[in-house]
Structures are given as structure tokens and as C-alpha cells.
Amino acid sequence: MRRSRSAAAAKVRTQKRSEASAAPAAPTADASTPSATRALRSTSQAGSKSQAEAKPLSEKRRLRRSSPRAQEESQGEPPPPELALLPPPPPPTPATPTSSASTLDLGEQRERWETFQKRQKLTSEGAAKLLLDTFEYQGLVKHTGGCHCGAVRFEVWASADLHIFDCNCSICKKKQNRHFIVPASRFKLLKGAEHITTYTFNTHKAQHTFCKRCGVQSFYTPRSNPGGFGIAPHCLDEGTVQSMVTEEFNGSDWEKAMKEHKTIKNMSKE
């Protein structure tokens, strides 16, 4: 009986040992072995390395967020929900338009003004120009004139009674350059600037301008009055000149004649 029990127990122990040897052994890490120590050390180094890399990365992100470029980029992002609910700002108030000539308060004179425009066939600007010319050049009339072929045309405000200078200098004598002098502000070239050419000589202060198509000098800039114009009365249109008084000027002795003359220097002044 005892012998059978011991045989059975031995059989059981033998079966357990065979099962244990047949089953694969689970890998275990023993800190005391050299291989385990190297494994733990590499694991700890990898962990510390990943933390070191993560730290500068987070530092870079923090600096990037605080940089001006990041702030500019963040401005283009949509506003947070609480700001999106706010009403939009009101549009800017348009500037008040300035009053034009058509909106001027003419009072009781409006009907007269409109009637005057219709009779004279003038626009509002044309009527205003006529009024300004009449007021600014009191006692003067508007003369018009030009060259022979019509390429050069001008207008000039001067008296209806003209004071003409007849100069006997070398060039004025040859081309019979009789002229009256006006300030530059009273002269206006209407057309033909591209047809005008200029001749100068000696001191080159006098600008002898003439039409290069027909050769007529209807006006020029005299040496005596470089700030004005000398207008040829024989080139004016008919109907505005009432009388002419001619004065001889000794241009052949120009310096002496200028010293002796009392008024010619100031004829181009306002």
C-alpha cells in the first residue's frame, strides 16, 4: 500500500517536472546581472534624453508665441466666441461736402444771375470769369490778337488808349517792332505754343518770339521789362483800340535811354 502511494507521488512529480521543462521560460530582468544593468541604464538614458529634448522644444514654442511675427499671425486668427458676439463698429461718418458755386446763396439776385447767363449764353464759370475780369481790370479792355496764319493767338488786358514805343535799336528798326508793354499777369497765350520760336542776341535778355510758320512777331519779351510782354498793336483784332500815342525810344543808345526814361522800367509792374 505504501509502495503504491510513493510510486504514484513519484509519477506526479515526474509529470510536473516534464511540463515545467516543456513550457518556455518567461524572460525576467534581474538587476544583479550585467545585461539587466545595461538595459536599465539605456532605458534611463533614453528617458532623460527625451525629457531634455522636450524641454527646449517647449521653450522654443514659448518664444515663438511671444515673438512679434507670431503676434501678427495671431491677429489674422478669428476672434474668440465671446468677441464674435459683439456688434460691429459703426461705419465712419462721411465728410461734409464743400459747397460749390451752384449751391451759393444768391438771394434775390439768383433770378437776375440766371437771366444774365441765358442772355450772354455763358456757363456759370464763364459768367463768373467775366465778372472777375471786369472787377480786377477796372478801366481796361480785353484785346485779342495773333500772328498772320492764325497758329498763334493771345488775349491781353490793357487800356483802350495805347501808349506805343517806337524803338530804333538794330533789330526793332529792321522789323518795325512798335509795341506797348503790359505785365505778364495780364497776358494769356490762347494757343500756338508749339508754333513759337525765339531769337536772341547780344545780352540775350530780350526774347524775340515769333511764329515759325508765318514769321510774324505778335508779341515778345523786351529787355527793358523782362517781367512783362511787348505787344504789337498792329497784330490786335479790330474793335477794341480807341487811340494810340507813339513815343520814340532811342534804343540805339539803350543804356543811356533807359537811365533817362522815367516810366518805362515800371510798365510791367502791376
**Domains of the chain and CATH, by start:** 139-266 (2.170.150.70)
Q: How far apart are the first and last CA of the chain?
A: 158
Q: Are 230 and 221 in contact (CB under 8 A)?
A: yes
Spatial neighbors of 108 by CB under 8 A, at least 6 apart, are none
pTM passes above 0.75: no
pLDDT at 18 over 80: no
**The pLDDT value given to residue 107:** 87
Supply the angle between the helices 124-136 and 110-120 in degrees, to the nearest 10: 100
Residue 28's pLDDT band (boundaries 50, 70, 90)? very low
What would the DSSP string read from start to end of 59-81? Answer: HHHHHHHHSHHHHHHHHTSPPPH
Residue 208's pLDDT band (boundaries 50, 70, 90)? very high
**The pLDDT value given to residue 30:** 47
Span of 26-35, 57-66, 150-159, 235-244 with lowest mean pLDDT: 26-35
**The pLDDT value given to residue 61:** 53
Amino acid residing at 211: C
What would the DSSP string read from start to end of 152-167? Answer: -EEEEEE-SEEEEEEE
Residue 98's pLDDT band (boundaries 50, 70, 90)? very low
Report the DSSP beta bridge partners of residue 155: 144, 188
**DSSP classification of residue 77:** S
Comparison of pLDDT for 25 and 186, the residue scoring more: 186
Share of the chain above pLDDT 70, in %: 61
d(CA 233, CA 201): 24
Share of the chain above pLDDT 90, in %: 33
pLDDT at 218 over 50: yes
Comparison of pLDDT for 46 and 113, the residue scoring more: 113
**The pLDDT value given to residue 224:** 87
Query: H or E element: which one contains 179?
Result: strand 178-183
Residue 19's pLDDT band (boundaries 50, 70, 90)? low
pLDDT at 214 over 50: yes
Beta strands in the chain (DSSP E): 141-146, 153-158, 161-167, 178-183, 187-191, 196-199, 208-211, 219-220, 228-231, 243-249
Q: Are 231 and 162 in contact (CB under 8 A)?
A: no
Comparison of pLDDT for 151 and 29, the residue scoring more: 151
Residue 10's pLDDT band (boundaries 50, 70, 90)? low
pLDDT at 134 over 70: yes
Span of 40-49, 149-158, 204-213, 253-262 with lowest mean pLDDT: 40-49
**The pLDDT value given to residue 135:** 76
Comparison of pLDDT for 207 and 26, the residue scoring more: 207
Residue 45's pLDDT band (boundaries 50, 70, 90)? low
**pLDDT tens-digit readout, 150-206:** 999 999 999 999 999 999 988 998 989 999 999 999 999 999 999 999 998 888 888
d(CA 9, CA 3): 10
d(CA 248, CA 230): 15
